[in-house]
A and B are shown apart, each in its own frame.
Chain A
Amino acid sequence: MWVYVGRRLLLAIPTLLGASVIVFAMVHLAPGDPIAAVMPAESSAAEIEATKRAYGFDRPLPVQYLVWLGRVAQGDLGRSIATRRPVVLDVRDALANSLVLALSSSLLAFVVGIALGLLSAFRQGRVVDKLCAMLAVIGVSVPHYWAGIILIIIFSVQLNWLPAMGAADDPGLGPYLRHIALPTVALALIPLGVITRVVRSAALDILNQEFVMALRAKGLAARRVFVHVVKNAAPQILTVLGLQFGFQLGGSVLVESVFSWPGTGYLLNLAIFQRDIPVLQGVILVLATFFVLLNLAVDLLQTLIDPRIARH
């Protein structure tokens, strides 16, 4: 099994390297001169050239890549063109905020999703099942940014129960929770739908196996059947949980934009419009790395639960 672990770790390295190449390349595909966008229009050509050289934009691309990669490996993500602050600091703060949102949203989606999925599977064909299935389809189909707006309309504008904007001004857990409530629900909808469907499908596959049906017919206690289903469906469920957490972390851009939540998505948005390349690269690279490591962790967790998977 450790061979499998080792092999997966080894495979992650070229994936990360490849991702870094893409991150580096995509930003340089962009039309428009990044420096000119940030410096005042009256800057002399000399000033622009000087800034360019300071950021290293005048050297050939492969060299730029290696230099950039070297610095990244040491934790230096450069400085923001717009604010001149080290990118690492901005990304770190933003990442923390996004993680909190992603975690709370995941908690909601996982718990409700798994509960509904299992409920659906064990009551297959009945009204409960149809209701849950319908809820799941709704969850998967709803554009989360629109859901966010609707939530704001209902809970902020009309009922005035919860605030519409992101980070709380007043310190304390209460206000923080009130501010995070709506974004959490908005972000959780799509994953909730996906998880419900996957859990239901996985559980049904197991329940419909002949030997399980035979055991149930013989009167095996419902609790033991339940445990068996959960244990065997765990790998599939884990995979989808991992994927959805990644979606919430990376896909929070849209929800953060609606609620002005100061996370990585917000930062990304800003960086795109200011054409702040170092920040852009930093955010995407950090998120991608996170995602790769997350998938790796999910894979390894799966092999721990079900060693058969390590058969590669």
Chain B
Amino acid sequence: MTAPLLRARDLTKRFPLRGGLLGRPRAWVHAVDGVSFDVNPGETLGIVGESGCGKSTLARLLLRLIEPDTGSVAFAGEDVLRASRSRMKRLRRDLQLVFQDPYASLNPRLTIEDAVAFSLLVHGTPRGEARDRARALLDRVGLDPRLHGRRYAHELSGGQRQRVNIARALVLDPRLLLLDEPVSALDKSVQAQVLNLLQDLKAERALTYVLISHDLNVIEYVSDRVLVMYLGEIVETGSAEALARSPRHPYTQALFASAPSMDPDRRMDQPPIAGDPPNPIDPPSGCRFRTRCPFAMPRCAEVPPPFVPVEAGHEVACHLYELEPAGRR
């Protein structure tokens, strides 16, 4: 078993809500709370959850765009959070991010060629070589550099801009690519194209992906393993296939049940989850999902559920499984 490429332990981040006369924090938004997981080399880890569950914050923590309150991140055994500025700059070559919003993530004043080449220039590549490599990469992601290279972001469609984002992320030859809702802003038909491109690139360059999305279909399509997040915490982890086959956590079950199916015989009469999306400011005590869980027990309000294995490589944080170690469900 090879060592994990990325190892996150107990990551926590709370944001203060300022108010009152002197602007002191009067409440805290629990964005990410005690999240731990591993990413193995060569796999695609999917992180799925509703808006507001902390996925994007987690992505920014992993890349050290924001500093966590507690916790650690190790990349190939090296501590990311304690790296010096020069070390961090080197690490940035290995860890890259594809952003969610294809419109806001490109500088409107740069040609897309320059936008992609910028990363190389930052790391000292000579101008001519940077431009050549940028063009080569644009070509690889499906944008002819002779046609599009000197274009500006506002002249491209959403799908094309996202390809530029991917090119920009890959130009430094990273080992791990974080993708934060990479296709959420695109039309369905374009989504499939971009996802296929990502799959091809991963195979060609032996990449490791961490893909964040709220869309279960996207997650299922590309992921090897999946983490399910709810209100800043991980509630279930397992292989994509295992989760699809038998989701254990009530939240995961609801997620899978609510994914619209293309099969007209499987129409839904009732929404699988009751209640409003959670407010991360004052999370419920014990298990955070208990307020919407159809199986909630008194114990759920008292004690946060620990992780319990239900199969090989499949773990759930739910009291239902804690009481039945033989895995009845």
Contact = CB atoms under 8 A, between A and B. Distances in A.
Interface of A: 3, 6-7, 10
Contacts of A6: 21
7 contacts: A3-B19, A3-B20, A3-B21, A6-B21, A7-B21, A7-B23, A10-B21
Nearest to B19: A3
B23 to A, nearest CB: 8
Interface string B284-298: 000000000000000
The A interface is mostly helix, strand or loop, or mixed, namely: helix
Contacts of A3: 19-21
A177 B23 CA distance: 50
A6 B19 CA distance: 12
Nearest to A10: B21
Interface in B1-28: 19-21, 23
A221 to B, nearest CB: 38
A6 B20 CA distance: 9
The B interface is mostly helix, strand or loop, or mixed, namely: loop
Interface residues of B, number: 4
Contacts of B21: 3, 6-7, 10
Interface-central residue, B19, B20, B21, B23, by most chain A CB under 10 Å = B21
Interface in B202-220: none
A8 to B, nearest CB: 11
Contacts of B19: 3
Nearest to A6: B21
A7 B21 CA distance: 6
B21 to A, nearest CB: 5
Contacts of A10: 21
Contacts of B23: 7
A6 B21 CA distance: 7
Interface string B262-279: 000000000000000000
B236 to A, nearest CB: 38
A7 B23 CA distance: 9
B15 to A, nearest CB: 16
A3 B23 CA distance: 10
Nearest to A2: B21
A296 to B, nearest CB: 16
B18 to A, nearest CB: 9
A76 B50 CA distance: 65
Contacts of B20: 3
A42 to B, nearest CB: 59
A10 B23 CA distance: 12
- Which 5 pairs of residues, A with B, have the shortest CB-CB distance? A6-B21, A7-B21, A3-B21, A3-B20, A10-B21
Nearest to A4: B21
A5 B20 CA distance: 11
A198 B21 CA distance: 32
Contacts of A7: 21, 23
A10 B20 CA distance: 12
A213 B90 CA distance: 53
B210 to A, nearest CB: 35
Interface in B129-186: none
B22 to A, nearest CB: 8
Nearest to B21: A6
Interface in B83-109: none
Nearest to A7: B21
A253 to B, nearest CB: 38
Nearest to B20: A3
B218 to A, nearest CB: 31
A129 B157 CA distance: 37
B25 to A, nearest CB: 14
B19 to A, nearest CB: 7
A3 B20 CA distance: 6
A193 B1 CA distance: 76
A235 B180 CA distance: 38
A3 B26 CA distance: 13
A201 to B, nearest CB: 24
Nearest to B23: A7
A171 B19 CA distance: 56
A252 to B, nearest CB: 37
B182 to A, nearest CB: 29
A271 B20 CA distance: 45
A41 B223 CA distance: 94
Nearest to B18: A312
A103 to B, nearest CB: 34
